[in-house]
Structure 1
Amino acid sequence: MGAADLFLTSVGRRPDGLWAAPGRVTVIGEHTDHSDGFVLPIALAQRVVVAAGRRGDGQLVARSAQQPHEPYARALEQLAPGAAAGWSGYVAGVAWALREAGHDIGGVDIVVDSDVPVGAGLSSSAALECATALALNDLFGLGLGRMELAHLGRQAENEFVGVPCGILDQSASLLATERHALLLDTRSLAYEQIPFDPAAAGLALLLIDTRSRHALVDGRYAARQDACRRAAQVLGVPALRDATLDGVLRLGDPLLRRRARHVVTENARVTEAAGLLRRGAVHRIGPLLTASHASLRDDFEVTVPELDVAVEVALASGAHGARMVGGGFGGCVLVLVDAQAAPSVAAAVAAAFARRGFRRPLPLHAVPSGGAARIR
């Protein structure tokens, strides 16, 4: 049952509209946005759909097609950090952030449906925030721009849910365009749509969901952010975006040195990858993806065995490049591969997982898609 049908059966009327926002995958530029760095994500075809309708009693009532027995209801004036958990926290957090910013929103029924895998590093949470933000913006005539909505989604995740994410995920979900990657400067928020059409080059972006699930609220993500801030302080720069590799290599603390080295080298890889894509050299970004994974594994230390095995086997099976995506500690691997070889690479990874007793991975195709939009 889709969002519109569930809205009709649970609320008793048709919604005022439907809005959809995509998950995202970062082609390259992982763990740089919290250091004012550069990122290069795409939006995915997989989306969160929100059916929404105004109600007159000042209540936020939210339901999920994936968890139909866990409806959420709370007066808007009672929303505060900690007032919702799980999926409902992202919906309630956006409503709270809008009210905190002084925007007049009224009671609303929201029904959510999604095919973005949860916990796979594909930003299902940001997609839910962005679909909700777009719906509330339209329903209550707020007139907010997309970057404003991205900031509100980030505020919801940071302050209401308690995940210290950067602006990457919400920006990709709201700003991405079809057959392009979004080059975003997370300091200035300047962005450029970079042509990126792997299929036209005979390539495929294979996403392998390792089904090893992460939880970024457990402190490991925040600890790495803190290390990056401390490294920048020692180096005397506003953020690691301003650091040089020579300076980083002189850091005395080996932990700070590793964390900072990842950010500085990853920023350089984003810049190089964007330059290659501008020239249409899609094949040549493969080694950058692989170098990114090695950096995330060795310097940022956010991989797990399932991610490392998937990358190793994909490369051994002929992939041009592969890397983990998302916050880490589980989730997906992105593989750049010749289109005809994608099934055999996915099969090789599945066989390797079976030999090691890992859960069976799920292959998905990552197609550079358009951003959030009203669909009805």
Structure 2
Amino acid sequence: MQTSSNPIKGVGTDWTEYSLINDHGMTVKFLNYGGIITTITAPDRDNHFENVVIGFDNYQDYLNNENYFGALIGRVAGRIQQGHFMLNGQSCQLPKNEGENHLHGGPAGLDKVVWQVELFDTATSAGAILSHTSNDGEGGYPGTVKLKVCYRLTNDNQFMIDYEAVSDQDTVLTLTNHSYFNLSGDLKDNILNHEVKMDSSQFVELDHDLIPTGKILSVTNTVFDFRNGRKIVDGVDSTDQQNIYAKNGYDHFFIFDHQNEEQVVVTEPISGRMLTVKTDQPGMVMYTSNGLDHTLALKERQSEKYLGVCLETQSSPASLEHTGFPSIYLPADELYRQSTTFSFKTI
């Protein structure tokens, strides 16, 4: 197991890229800026290592990372309608950074923070502890929150993300990582033929602004039913209004049944790569990069629609407006602790 750091020149004076490398050669690289995961190399069925996430060719472009490539997201992942919520009878107004709504922590979210990083390695894993204190009122949110995120790569080709946070006041919080996965390797193909299997029988209905309506729908007899496996292209070709609202694809919160050991399994038939997701989070937003265009210079090629799939394990901001949704309420002095493991295998 190895860890290393490499200062990034020409961007910020305090930007550093860190590398976690296991004994098989699998590598995870990330920045202290936004905790952004820039590279994950994983083997295909012929043990050929290639990058399986989207990242910019020029690190300067992460300063304007509107697609949140690889970033840590918070304080609240997802959309908050009108940027407004009530907490303990008090009105809280957040900045609006997506039309009339607040998205992914706002214009100064955790994706734009320079985190403190402490590397570690053991006989079986290489990792890093990312720490940051978000002060009361930062991003419009109440409470001073002490955050700690652990990235860990094991010799079993598991990449684990553990989140911890404590607030000195009642607040709202749900954290996630916004990596775009593409198992074809080095962005050789789009993700339309990726097959997804998901332990979920319910998803959240959205309106035309991608704001939850308050309805939780059954996946049965829809292209949102991934319980037995389904290709992403099914949702792209779908005439379902929910897919059309999401710009012909998926950008929806799925509620996990937690009946299987693994909540998500993604496979890519040509490379033979398989990515499994195991989490204690109540659900996940699956976003199929429907909003990407061709204007961004990525490491391997120009960007395009459907080039990556995000697996954003989290709770639901819809709980601020509607009952029956996984809560994001965090009482003062109560420990927020969540974990997601991405395991890379082959078939």
> Shorter-chain TM-score: what band?
under 0.3
More strand by share: 2
Using structure 1 for the length normalisation, give the TM-score.
0.24
More helix by share: 1
Higher alpha-carbon Rg = 1
Q: RCO higher in 1 or 2 (8 Å CA, sep ≥ 6)? A: 1
Using structure 2 for the length normalisation, give the TM-score.
0.26
